[in-house]
Amino acid sequence: MSDFPHFEYQQNALYVESVPLETIASKFGTPCYVYSRAALITTYQAFEQAFADDDFLICYAVKANSNLAILNLLVRLGSGFDIVSGGELQRVIKAGGDPQKIVFSGVGKQADEMRMALATDILCFNVESAAELQLLNQIAAAMNKVAPVSLRVNPDVDAKTHPYISTGLKENKFGIPLEEAEQIYFSADQFPHIRFTGLDCHIGSQLTELDPFTQAGEKLVSLLQRLKSGNQQITHLDLGGGLGIRYSTETPPSIQTYVNALRKTLGTNKVRLLIEPGRSLVGNAGLLLTRTIYLKHTPDRHFAIVDAAMNDLMRPSLYNAYHEILPVLKRNGDLCNYQVVGPVCETGDFLGHDRKFSLEAADLLAVMSAGAYGTSMSSNYNTRPRAAEVMVDGDTVHLIRARETIDQLTASETILPA
């Protein structure tokens, strides 16, 4: 349980901080996302402490988990935010976020989103194409504004992660080739309503090795030095996010080791350093609580059919991703090899294959490391209301998102007239 220090067994019952998961299931039902406030705070502070007295800004990647309570907790801790949509911008502002700590990433920013971000006076746009830069310049001119911009460079570095979440190779849709980015920086006079303030890259998610970070960082620092030699006023270097967590047998570097590597790459260059952690901040601070509906035994396989499904946690179905699954109550008895599956009408609806439990119908299971890309990627497939979310703070449980109702799902739909 070393990867889940705030999720521990006490007398064979799994607790979150000081609260038994059985109590949460009884009060709020299942499926239910459960987060530890202490785990979030501890991880954020580990990033802060790793930077020591450096000039830095942690910009939490909102796409990992955008619940207002989580965003507000990070606001209180002093965090900035990395957003990828106008909706995420509105969430951050609603949670009390400081616009001057917001960077706006994403390959498909739309005109209304640009206007909203300019009106809000965000810290920086991470621009991903020449076409986007041209549109931003036009919109800023119409608003009599100057847009602060960091070009997102594609360094063509293999992140050595799942291909769906690798973003730094030349065949990926993200970023601008390094040579083209350099040319754009030195043609700044063509964009009178753009102010180049930073340099950015992000090469992927769930990285478990330092080498890709170092390779990308070295390419960016080399470009930074050329830009500064050409009198470009670059004040920050954004090295993105992507630090992985342990789901199974991965051995990602510690937060301190990761930050040390970034600092070493930066060398003596005097710029503010930005990072955009998401999964590494919230991934192991949450779990998905689910209850077994049926145990189904066939001549070939044994199935534990649970009330959580691919619409609640799609990572296993989408990436064949592994999540550790723990029994909420440890039973003495013979172990059986189960396929943990949900009720959705897809063979791809599974949470875990070949998990050994001593299990009975109605038993609770905890799907671990579900704090990132769990609820934020959830859907209403099969007209399934999205799960409730709760935050545990010591011995107190706060409902931070009520379970959806069918009435809410259908409220915006209309039937054609006769």
Show which residues are catalytic. 345
Positive or negative, the Cα torsion across 2, 18, 44, 35?
positive
Q: Can you name the residues that pair with 236 across neighbouring β-strands?
A: 198, 272
Q: Which contiguous run of DSSP H or E holds residue 112?
A: helix 111-120
Supply the DSSP symbol for 210. S
What is the residue whose two structure tokens read 């119409």?
A: 142
What is the residue whose two structure tokens read 């007239």?
A: 417
Q: Are strands 350-357 and 124-127 parallel, antiparallel or unpaired?
A: unpaired
Q: Which contiguous run of DSSP H or E holds residue 258?
A: helix 255-266
Long-range contacts of the stretch 84-92 (C-beta < 8 A, 24+): 85/113, 86/110, 86/112, 86/113, 86/116, 86/117, 88/62, 88/63, 89/113, 89/116, 89/117, 89/120, 89/122, 90/116, 91/62, 91/66, 92/62
Spatial CB neighbours of 318, under 8 Å, sequence gap ≥ 6 = 164, 377
Question: HEC profile for 123-181?
Answer: CEEEECCHHHHHHHHHHHHHCCCCEEEEEEEECCCCCCCCHHHECCCCCCCCCEEHHHH
Structure tokens at 103: 């960077």
Q: Is 352 within 8 Å of 366 (Cβ atoms)?
A: no
Taking the C-alpha atoms of residue 251 and residue 52, their distance in angstroms, rounded to an integer, is 24
Q: Is 24 within 8 Å of 287 (Cβ atoms)?
A: no
Three-state SS at 348: coil
Q: Is 236 within 8 Å of 272 (Cβ atoms)?
A: yes
Burial of 49 by CB count in 10 Å (0-12 exposed, 13-18 middle, 19+ buried)? exposed
Three-state SS at 229: helix
Q: Return binding residues for substrate.
A: 279, 315, 319, 346, 373
Q: Return binding residues for pyridoxal 5'-phosphate.
A: 242, 276-279, 373
Structure tokens at 88: 């995420």
Q: Return binding residues.
A: 242, 276-279, 315, 319, 346, 373
Q: Which contiguous run of DSSP H or E holds residue 256?
A: helix 255-266
